[in-house]
Amino acid sequence: MLSNEAESKVSTLTIANRLGISNAATSEMAKKLGELGLVKYVKYQGVYLTKKGEKTALEVIRRHRLWELFLMETLNLSWHEVHEEAEKLEHNTSNLLIEQIESYLEFPKFDPHGDPIPDINGILPKMPDNVMLKNAEVGGQYIIVRVDHRHKELVDYFQKLELKLNQKIELIDRLAFDHSVSVKLNGSTYTFSEKIAGNLYVSRIK
């Protein structure tokens, strides 16, 4: 969710950019959701979730992320494939099936990208302390705890590197000119642009 607090407003422009649709379409969507009691929409000010909207959003997020993990764990789908398939399944799954999937997966806390999975009561697990790789300290050793998976090309690139969650990564150097970073991963050294390093979240171990 772009906002997980009932009184935290998000502009329609921010939502439009995130979804890749026009600002006008976003405003129309916000009005319709407002009529359903899911959001409060104030023209020129933004949108925020109502309590009902927050509950509904967490339920959808829970279904989506459990499906992602199930598809990756059982069918070996790729990072990007599980996201696309979960989007199709999240709205058409019974509560019984979701609870069975959760039990089968032994009540996981995080999905394949490192995003937290709400429990049956809508409570999110606490994320480990983490920073974007681009802001990490040179010389530090880290584990990868989350990957921003909105960009298919980037996720495909990470898969080619056989990058995974909970994998060790060492920040060797940062170039002052363009803020690109050199890292050691799987015994090899790679250079990531600042933009790429901004889509990886790491937790320090040394």
Any bridge partners for residue 146, and if so which? 201
Residue 66 has pLDDT above 90, yes or no: yes
Cα separation, 141 vs 16, in Å, equals 37
Report, as an integer, the average pLDDT of 68-97.
Answer: 91
Residue 199 has pLDDT above 50, yes or no: yes
Residue 28 has pLDDT above 90, yes or no: no
Give φ, ψ of 66 to 5 degrees: -70, -40
How high is the pLDDT of residue 5?
Answer: 41
64, 93 contact by CB (below 8 A): no
Amino acid (one-letter) located at 11: S
Out of 18-32, 99-113, 122-136, which region has the weakest mean confidence (pLDDT)?
Answer: 18-32
- List CB contacts of 159: < 8 A, sequence separation 6 or more: 78, 79, 80
SS3 readout for 62-101 = HHHHHHHHHHHHHHCCCHHHHHHHHHHHCCCCCHHHHHHH
How high is the pLDDT of residue 182?
Answer: 97
Task: Give the CA distances from residue 188 to residues 32, 89, 182, in Å, rounded to whole numbers and listed in that order.
Answer: 51, 38, 10
86, 64 contact by CB (below 8 A): yes
Asked if domains 62-126 and 131-204 share a fold, the reply is no
169, 138 contact by CB (below 8 A): no
How high is the pLDDT of residue 16?
Answer: 80
User: Can you name the CATH fold of 12-49?
Assistant: Arc Repressor Mutant, subunit A (1.10.10)
User: Can you name the CATH fold of 131-204?
Assistant: SH3 type barrels. (2.30.30)
- List CB contacts of 181: < 8 A, sequence separation 6 or more: 133, 134, 136, 171, 172, 173, 174, 175, 191, 192, 194, 197
Report, as an integer, the average pLDDT of 137-161.
Answer: 92
How high is the pLDDT of residue 4?
Answer: 42
Under the banding of pLDDT at 50, 70 and 90, the label for residue 78 is: confident
CATH number of 62-126: 1.10.10.10
The residue ranges of every structural domain in the chain are 12-49, 62-126, 131-204
pTM of the model: 0.84
Q: Which residue has the higher pLDDT, 52 or 19?
A: 52
Question: Which pairs from 178-187 meet CB under 8 Å and 24+ separation?
Answer: 179/134, 181/133, 181/134, 181/136, 183/133, 185/161, 186/161, 186/162
Under the banding of pLDDT at 50, 70 and 90, the label for residue 19 is: confident
Report, as an integer, the average pLDDT of 44-59.
Answer: 89
Residue 43 has pLDDT above 80, yes or no: no
